[in-house]
Chains A and B, each alone.
Chain A
């Protein structure tokens, strides 16, 4: 962020022409990179639009972006349409919120304990690593048996996915902390609370945040999958219902909502990185 500010600021008048040229070159490179990053998805959308217009793809399933945009606009311009979509969005957000909150908290806690306490690690690590690769959606039937259809079972599934992601990343972060920090903590006889909260957890923070970010992505995948199968509400249900009645533009609207969720999650993740681990920026 600081870099961007420096690079995009106009060069003062009195600088050496060589440095000014250098600054200009860097500014141009940065503008070029941003333009490419924004331009590529626009290019893909145009390609899609072009293919749809000229019947290169089946327009029944892949109407062009302009057609989809127009029908989203029509749908959202009615009070009923807005309320319907908002209801689904709220249902999904609630499930993610509950599942993520429980899963991330318990995952980080157990990860830290495993990282610092050898017996806990010896007891739990093999089981954890054995279960981790199992696709969580595969145990959804069991979740339904235990928690019933609807909110509770979807949230439970999200909890599980987020828990594994955050726990394993936190554990690795704490376990493989730079050994010099252990030496400092021992040599200076830090009390246990100082060790935990001011040395090892901050040292592991980059991994913890990676776990939290991956967990959020996982939460989104699982909640939509669960809603496909069992819920009456939610963005997943909205997409699936639209598909079943072959209302393709509405289905794409659901996908767009998921895309927005993912974008917001990515922004939250990078904000967390700059706020919580400012020393880790490269």
Chain B
């Protein structure tokens, strides 16, 4: 990143995203300043899956909101893989939120279709994408169902389909499985792995679940406690093709889990360690 020596063609795949020295401060209601992110840099290759891990309040959600375009007040630069960014048939980023974000007055298909309302697409294209991504997340039989008729996991699938249907350059996920029960979460991890592979998605995955991060991602960015900075960047020992449940059975999994936990625990601080291990 320091020298402009290497020509961009040298890389296998062009960088999808380059975040340089991102900084973010908030003004509280009381008028004081809170530094959320002190310094965050990250370069992502196309198709890569990066998890952002860190203690509560480390700025991981702030970072995601900035990438999602929900927050435009920040310092530092964010460069997008530019040759496709101008394409009006894809969103630069699409977000899957932590809580239920489906619109209750629309059925599944309409919920997916409305995500594309900001794109320049023909009705046939919208139709085609709705069919494709609704089927991909396993909601084929629930095309006309309303969110209140679906389980939490199914609603989250609809939200995932809505994000995927915009064929985003970057798929942002903010603890998308946090609200689900443990069994559903495991099933959904497997599903996410399959879906990302089929769509060749570039993913930023915010979570505080270490196992989930290792199960799903190629690299783990561990953030320090507030104000957040990059504490460590850990490469996953697993090849991308290995699916979550398989990874959990491999010895390297426990090893990496212990390693990441040590890094996170240092940051969480005594009181929070007590809470997390309770």
Contact = CB atoms under 8 A, between A and B. Distances in A.
Interface stretch (B23-31, B43-51, B92-100, B225-233): B92-100
B263 interface: no
B62 interface: no
Interface in A194-223: 194, 198-199, 202-203, 205
Contacts of A203: 103, 105
A95 B94 CA distance: 51
Contacts, number: 62
A58 interface: no
Given A187-B94, A187-B95, A188-B117, A199 B103 contact: yes
A199 B100 CA distance: 15
A184 interface: yes
Interface in B59-110: 68-70, 91, 93-95, 97, 99-101, 103-106
Contacts of B68: 183, 186-187
Given A180-B97, A183-B70, A190 B103 contact: no
Contacts of B146: 278-279
Nearest to A279: B104
A189 B94 CA distance: 9
Interface in B119-156: 146-148
A189 B103 contact: no
Contacts of A277: 105
Contact of B148 (A188, A205, A279): A279
B118 A184 contact: no
A19 B103 CA distance: 35
Given A189-B118, A191-B117, A191-B118, A184 B103 contact: yes
Given A180-B97, A186-B70, A187-B68, A202 B117 contact: no
The main secondary structure of chain A at its interface with chain B is helix
Interface residues of A, number: 20
A180 B69 contact: no
Interface string B165-204: 0100000000000000000000000000000000000000
A176 interface: no
A190 B118 contact: yes
Nearest to A193: B117
B117 A194 contact: yes
A194 to B, nearest CB: 4
Given A188-B166, A205-B105, A198 B97 contact: no
A50 interface: no
A59 to B, nearest CB: 55
Given A180-B99, A279-B105, A279-B146, A186 B69 contact: yes
25 contacts: A180-B97, A180-B100, A180-B101, A181-B101, A181-B103, A183-B68, A183-B70, A183-B101, A184-B101, A187-B70, A187-B94, A188-B91, A188-B94, A189-B69, A189-B91, A190-B114, A191-B118, A198-B106, A198-B117, A202-B103, A202-B105, A203-B103, A279-B104, A279-B105, A279-B146
Interface of B: 68-70, 91, 93-95, 97, 99-101, 103-106, 114-115, 117-118, 146-148, 162, 166
